[in-house]
Amino acid sequence: MLDLRRALLGRRLASDESQHTKVNKFVGLSVFSSDALSSVAYATQEIMASLSSNVHMAGAAAGGAALALFGLSIPVALSIVGLLLILGIGYRQTVLAYPGGGGAYIVAKENLGELAALTAGSALLTDYILTVAASVSSGVAAITSAFPTLAGWNVSITILCIVFIAMANLRGVKESGALFAVPTYGFIALMLLLLATGFVKVADGFLPKQLASRGDRLVFSNGIFFLTLVSCVLVWACHANTDLLLPLYALGVFIGFTISQAGMVMHWVNYRMTEKSWRIKAFINAVGAVAAGIVMVDIGLTKFAHGAWIVVVLIPIMVATFFRIHRHYISVRSRLAASRTEDIHPRPNRVVIFVSKIHRGTLEALRYAKAIAGDNEVEALTVDFPDDHGHPSPERGKLEADWKKYCEGVPLRVLNSPFRKVVEPIVDELERMAEAEPEYTTTVLLPEFVPDRWWGNLLHNQTAWRLKAVLLTKPRTVVISIPYHLDVAGE
């Protein structure tokens, strides 16, 4: 498995090799402009689809309707250009005010507070997912329209493309940037060729702390895995249909735009004593906030029934979740800090060994138990399933007979389980012992054999895993696994 991982992702990079991840401006531009370029690829189609959604004509009437729609597309395109200019000018001021990086989250948190910041962050997180799902779905739709034999395979092809993109990103920023620079600049070249051709034709007659950890290639591997998984699920749920994905994406984008521009207005107001032209700058960002807000409301109302309701419902849930996670981390930090002042007194230790059968792991557990506790503070527990008449099982008789030979003086107690449960009787007994002797720390030893093959873990040690999961929640209880490694011959 490790060799396959190295073959797919490349060698591991140490933290001091971060210079390896740097890219030049030519490659960096292709990486960070791909989002905007992908919008160009499918925006025109979606504009025409929205304009023609209520037109159902045939024959000559259809031709007239097509001309009318084309006429409407021009002012719509100009309006979009105007909106981009407004947002571009507004974001230029954001760049100047935050040269170290000033996304919607940072601007909102500094100027509008945590609620606005988390709302912007939630919108950005949904957009990270939706831009992958929508962009790749759109690209695959273009491919399948060019090659009709692939029709009906959109979802499968889209998911494969997303997985391929994820693998490329897991190799590192530099490697993925070099790979994606080719299609990015190729797309720009094709768009320029298309515009040139068009002009010639007119002359004739547009995401809990694990996500912050960097992997082997100094990229945020967990975030990439999460983004890939959710994007694939979203593509599957929406059947790779961009008509369903884009309303969700567009609403999240303009929520972020609106909050960011509003935050910049407050930024200039807060710096009015030191910034001479703060009124003009605040006015520019205010225009951007109003323009983005109008578009946001329009999308939310007109596309609500077409999927935008998901974002409307999801973002408040995400904001509430983020607040809860934040409060949890604060609570844990404060309790851990306070625990340093608590008095720690020595506690006697009682060792309990869980036994199902006698094997090498059981014998090693017995020896380890004697090494950490006195002879009178070690005992073994096993669970027996009586038969229909309440008689002990044959396995119990064999275990008790063998125990006298191997026990090394450690007593064995049998817990009867008429309901054929294993974990519950042991937990109940340990709780009874803790209540009877609260001054003791109970150490539970779980002998486990380790299979030679990784898939063997799926077939064995399920009881031990369940016991550990339950006992870790119990105070004054220590759980120790005693591993016994099986070789190939042993299997």
Q: What pLDDT, in 10s, does the model give residues 322-351? A: 888 888 888 888 888 877 766 677 788 899
The pLDDT of residue 177 is 67
Distance, CA of 432 to CA of 83 (rounded, Å): 70
Pair 299, 216 in one domain: yes
- Provide the CATH number for the domain around residue 408: 3.40.50.620
Has residue 62 been placed in a domain?
Answer: no
Pair 307, 353 in one domain: no
Distance, CA of 334 to CA of 343 (rounded, Å): 17
Domain range enclosing 133: 2-13+23-45+68-329
Task: Provide the Cα torsion 33, 39, 44, 46; round to 10°.
Answer: 180
Pair 228, 98 in one domain: yes
Average the pLDDT over 420-449 and give the result.
Answer: 89
Has residue 280 been placed in a domain?
Answer: yes
Pair 260, 208 in one domain: yes
Pair 246, 214 in one domain: yes
Q: How does the average pLDDT of the chain come out, rounded?
A: 78
The pLDDT of residue 431 is 92
Has residue 418 been placed in a domain?
Answer: yes
What is the chain's length? 491
Q: Looking at this protein, which amino acid is placed at residue 133?
A: A
For the chain, what percentages of helix, strand and coil (3-state, to nearest 5) are there? Answer: 70, 10, 25
> 235 or 265, which is more confident?
265
The pLDDT of residue 244 is 75
Has residue 56 been placed in a domain?
Answer: no
Show the tokens assigned to 74. Answer: 């021009």
Burial class of residue 412 (count of CB atoms within 10 Å of its CB; 0-12, 13-18, 19+): middle
Pair 180, 109 in one domain: yes
pLDDT band at 206 (very low <50, low <70, confident <90, very high): very low
Pair 277, 239 in one domain: yes
Pair 281, 403 in one domain: no
Are 368 and 482 spatial neighbours (Cβ–Cβ below 8 Å)?
yes
Show the tokens assigned to 118. Answer: 């988390």
Has residue 74 been placed in a domain?
Answer: yes
Has residue 55 been placed in a domain?
Answer: no
Pair 282, 372 in one domain: no
The pLDDT of residue 442 is 92
Pair 324, 357 in one domain: no
Q: How many domains, in total, are found in the chain? A: 2
